[in-house]
Structure 1
Amino acid sequence: MLYPTPTLTAVDQEVLADVEAMRQAMRHQIRANPARWTHGLRKYLTADTIAASNSIEGFRVSTADVQDLMDGERDVEVSDENREETLAYQRMMTYVQTLHDVTDFTYSKSLLNALHWMLQGHRHTARKPAGQWRGGPVYVTDPRDPGIAAYTAPPAIDVPGLMDELVEWLNSDDGTHPLVRAAMAHLHLVSIHPWTDGNGRMSRSLQTLLIAREGVLAPEFSSIEAWLGRPGNTWEYYKELQRRGATYRPDQDVSGWIRFNLTAYHQQAQTVRGRMDRSAAVWEVLLSFAGPAGLNERVLSALHDVAVVGRIRRARYEQAEGLTLQQAQRDLRDLVTAGLLAPVGRTRARYYTEGPGFPERVLEVARTPMTLSEPYPDAVG
């Protein structure tokens, strides 16, 4: 038995309508104003998703470092364990993103186990197998005391049947809004806890996959994992899951879970829209700066990354502009000479941040924090 999908209240419907309006507006903005900075923003959002979802599980790598690892950089100052977890999650997330427009797509137990292998294959052991259902009990321990089980998953003998039911549900269409179905899929999978490890990230990734399959926005713009990974939100995420009880009780009202997810959708949409607006504004200021400064327009992507992300590496600039190694090196060297960039580190580990001559107006636009509104009025205060 799975949790029944709750009926949305009138307020829930209003929040969902707001989310839809923001997502449609972003879709039109991307299509109407394609720009070189959009590709960089997509990579940033993917890196932010990976960094945030892994941080929930205790693997802490900054978004900028995740971007470098995604670009194939080897000289990134992270632990071997964090490197492995980041690259494994990237491989799985990349595959999830490619599934957004597959025409003959269906959910299956094999697909879910294959995704789990991508995520956990590097940790595969006889005791903790990857890519197959668990053979014994599994517990979610209290974050404040590992000796206390905050949640005990259903018995292993029940897992195959529950996953059959979940896959059948995933492939059905009950008329529920796709964003609500995605939230329910997350709750179903994390509650069944079918694997010995990696259940949280798999459940969040399944939610991302359902949102991406909806097709309103490109997959990079669709995930709420970055929102869930913010420290205060992570704590609320744990609390909301704990409200479901210490054991699997699917015969209960989960309206609170839906409300929590609608809040996440709303505020993540605000965040992505804010990043898009800020990136566009930074690009416009850089364009006005480039002419009088006598800059080739292609170097603006490097300056844009420094302003928005905080740094740029040679390989990323080279890939973004389709340059040769020598061209990229020369451009970055010229930007350092002009005082626009400052090198940090040596040889392969080198990256560039803003130099003393970097335009202050660009940094002001890039680093002005955005304000998020609370979608449920009674939650303010």
Structure 2
Amino acid sequence: MLFPTPRLTANDERVLAEIDAAREDLRLAVRSTPAKWTDGLRRFLAADAVAASNSIEGFRVSTVDVADLMDGERDVDVTEENRDETLAYQRMMTYIQSLHEAPDFAYSKGFLNALHWMLQGHHHTRRRPAGQWRPGPVYVTDARDPSIASYTAPAAEEVPGLMTELVDRLNEDDATHPVVRAAMAHLHLVSIHPWADGNGRMSRSLQTLVTARSGVLSPEFSSIEAWLGRPGNTWEYYRVLTARGATYLPDQDVGEWVRFNLVASHQQTQSVQRRLERSARVLVELDRFAGQSGLDQRMVTALHDVALSGRVRRARYEHAENLSRQQAQRDLRDLVALRILESVGRTRSRYYTPGESFPAEALDAARTPFALTDPYA
């Protein structure tokens, strides 16, 4: 038995309507913005989701470092463990991103186990197998005292039947709103806890896929993983999850969980909208600066990355502008000579940060914080 989808209140329906309207506005804004600029935002959002979801599990890599690792940079100052976890999650999420418009798609137990292998295959052992249901019991321990089980998952012999029920539910063409449907998929999977490890990240990535399969926005723009990874939100995430009880009790009202996810979806959509607007403001300032300074327009791409993420690497600029390695190096050297950029590190580990002559107006636009509203307030 799975959790029943709760009945929505009029307030819930209003919030869902606001999410739908905001996501449609965001879809139109993305479509009307040149891909050259939205590609940078996609890259940031994908990296932010990976960094946030991994941080919930204790693997802490900054968003900018995740982005560099996703770009194939080898000389990134992270531990081997964090590198392995980042790249494994990134590979899985890249596959998920490719599925949001895939025709003839269906959920299956084999598909979910394959995703789990992508995530946890590098940890595979006989006692803790990857890509297979767990062979024994599993517990979620209390963050303050690991000797206490805050949640005990269903017995291992119940997992195959529960996962069959979940896959059937995922493949049903019902009238449930996609945001609610995705939130329930997350709750079902994390509560069944079908694998020995990696259940949290698998549940969050499944929510991302179910949301994206609704067809409104691609996964980078619709995932709530970055929102869940913010410290205060992570605490609330655990609180709402543990409110379901210390054991698997599916016959209960999980309306609080759904409302928590509606807030997350609403605020993450706000955040992406604000980032897109911020990117446009920064671009206006950099275009003006480039015109006044006589810089080649392509250099704005490198400056845009620096303003928004704090740094840029040669390979990233080279790829974004389709330049030769020599041309990219020459452009960046020229910007360093003008003190617009500052070079940090050597050879393959080198990256570039704002120099003393970097346009202050662009940095101000990039660094001005934005506010998020609570749709239930």
Q: TM-score, normalised by structure 2?
A: 0.99
AA of the residue aligned to 1:17: A
Q: Shift of the alpha carbon at 1:31?
A: 1.2
Task: Give the match for residue 125 of structure 1.
Answer: 125
What is the deviation of 1:34?
Answer: 2.2
Match of 1:197 in 2: 197
Unaligned runs of 5+ in 2: none
Q: Which residue of 1 aligns with 2:4?
A: 4
Q: Residue 320 of structure 1 corresponds to which residue in structure 2? A: 320
Alpha-carbon distance between aligned partners in 1 of 2:215 and 2:288, rounded to the nearest angstrom: 35
**Alpha-carbon deviations, 1:3-33, whole Å to 9, x = none?**
0001110111111111111100010111123
Give the Cα separation in 2 of the matches to 1:262 and 1:34.
30
User: Where does residue 134 of structure 2 map in the other structure?
Assistant: 134
Local SS of the residue matching 1:283: helix
**1:26-105 equivalence runs, <5 A:** 26-105=26-105
Counterpart code for 1:99: L
Q: CA deviation at 1:50?
A: 0.1
Find the counterpart in structure 1 of residue 23 from structure 2: 23
| 2: CA distance, partners of 1:85 / 1:35 | 29
Give the aligned partner of residue 232 of structure 2. Answer: 232
CA distance in 2, matches of 1:164, 1:361: 56
CA–CA distance in 2 between the matches of 1:70 and 1:174? 36
Q: Quick one: distance in 1 between partners of 2:30 and 2:215?
A: 14
The aligned counterpart of 2:179 is 179
Q: What one-letter code is carried by the residue in structure 2 that aligns with 1:186?
A: H
3-state DSSP class of the match of 1:174? coil
Displacement of 1:146 in angstroms is 0.4
| Bigger Cα displacement from structure 2, 86-95 vs 32-41 | 32-41
Q: Any idea what SS the aligned residue of 2:150 has?
A: strand
User: Match of 1:14, as an amino acid?
Assistant: R
Matching residue of 1:267? 267
Q: Residues 229-269 of structure 1: CA distance to partner in whole angstroms, max 9, x if unpaired?
A: 00000000000000000000000000000000000001101
**In structure 2, C-alpha distance between the alignment counterparts of 1:32 and 1:349, rounded to whole Å:** 35
Aligned-partner Cα distance in 2 for 1:32–1:319: 22
Q: 1:115 corresponds to which residue?
A: 115
Classify the secondary structure of the residue corresponding to 1:107: coil
**Aligned residue for 1:165?**
165
Q: Which moved more, 1:28-37 or 1:246-255?
A: 28-37
* Paired letter, 1:184: M
Q: How many residues of Structure 1 are paired with residues of Structure 2 in the alignment?
A: 377
| Alignment partners' CA distance in 2, 1:354 and 1:130 | 44
Moved more, 48-57 or 27-36: 27-36
Q: TM-score, normalised by structure 1?
A: 0.98
Q: Distance in 1 between matches of 2:56 and 2:20?
A: 27
Query: 280-289 or 302-311, which moves further after superposition?
Result: 280-289
User: How much does 1:36 deviate?
Assistant: 1.7
Percent of matched pairs sharing the same residue? 69
Q: Distance in 1 between matches of 2:5 and 2:194?
A: 21
Say if 2:127 and 2:135, in contact at 8 Å, map to a contact too.
no
- Relative to 1, partners in 2 of residues 1:35 and 1:96: Cα closer, same or farther, differing over 3 Å? closer
1:353 and 2:353 correspond = yes
Show the counterpart of 1:376.
376
